[in-house]
Structure 1
Amino acid sequence: MTKKALWILFATMAILIGLYPTLYLFLDKKFGLLNTKDNGLFKNIFWSLSFYIHIISGGLALLIGWTQFSTKIRVRNLTIHRQIGSVYVISALISALTSLYIALYATGGLFTSLGFICLGFIWFYTTLTAFLQIKKGMIANHEKMMLYSYALCFAAVTLRIWLPLLVILFNDFISAYQIVAWLCWIPNLLIAFLIIKRIEKRETISYR
Structure 2
Amino acid sequence: MKAYTRKIVWWIFTFLCIVIGLYPIIYFIIDRNFGLLQSKSEELLSNPLWNTAFYTHIILGGLALLIGWTQFPKAFRDRNRKIHKKIGMVYVTAAFFSSIAGIYIGLYATGGIVSILGFVSLGIIWLGTTMMGWLTAKKGDFDSHENWMTYSYAACFAAVMLRIWLPILMNIYQGEFIPAYHIVAWLCWVPNMLVAFWIVRRRKMASVLKFT
TM more than 0.5: yes
The answer for the alignment partner of 2:165 in structure 1 is 162
CA distance in 2, matches of 1:120, 1:130: 15
CA distance in 1, matches of 2:127, 2:111: 23
SS of the equivalent of 2:111 reads coil
The answer for the alignment partner of 1:44 in structure 2 is 47
CA-atom RMSD, angstroms? Answer: 0.7
SS of the equivalent of 1:107 reads coil
| Residue deviations 1:82-107 (CA, integer Å, cap 9, x gap) | 00000000000100000111011111
The answer for the alignment partner of 1:28 in structure 2 is 31
The answer for the alignment partner of 2:119 in structure 1 is 116
Residue of 118, 126, 129 corresponding to 1:126: 129
The answer for the alignment partner of 1:179 in structure 2 is 183
| Residue deviations 1:58-112 (CA, integer Å, cap 9, x gap) | 0000000000102222011111100000000000010000011101111111110
2:72 equivalent to 1:75: no
- The alpha-carbon deviation at position 189 of structure 1 amounts to 0.2
- The alpha-carbon deviation at position 31 of structure 1 amounts to 2.3
- The alpha-carbon deviation at position 41 of structure 1 amounts to 1.1
2:211 equivalent to 1:207: yes
Identify unmatched segments of 5+ residues in structure 2.
none
- Determine what percentage of the aligned residue pairs are the same residue: 51
The answer for the alignment partner of 2:142 in structure 1 is 139
Letter matched to residue 29 of structure 1: R
* Deviating more after overlay: 144-153 vs 101-110: 101-110
The answer for the alignment partner of 2:6 in structure 1 is 3
TM-score under structure 1 normalisation? Answer: 0.98
SS of the equivalent of 2:107 reads helix
CA distance in 1, matches of 2:143, 2:75: 18
SS of the equivalent of 1:105 reads coil
Query: Would you say the 8 A contact 1:73–1:80 is kept in 2?
Result: no
TM-score under structure 2 normalisation? Answer: 0.96
- The alpha-carbon deviation at position 36 of structure 1 amounts to 1.2
2:197 equivalent to 1:193: yes
Identify unmatched segments of 5+ residues in structure 1.
none
CA distance in 1, matches of 2:164, 2:61: 17
The answer for the alignment partner of 1:19 in structure 2 is 22
- The alpha-carbon deviation at position 201 of structure 1 amounts to 1.1
CA distance in 2, matches of 1:145, 1:2: 26
- The alpha-carbon deviation at position 14 of structure 1 amounts to 0.2
CA distance in 1, matches of 2:69, 2:76: 11
SS of the equivalent of 2:37 reads helix
| Residue deviations 1:161-192 (CA, integer Å, cap 9, x gap) | 11111111122111000110011000000000
Letter matched to residue 4 of structure 1: K
CA distance in 1, matches of 2:158, 2:8: 20
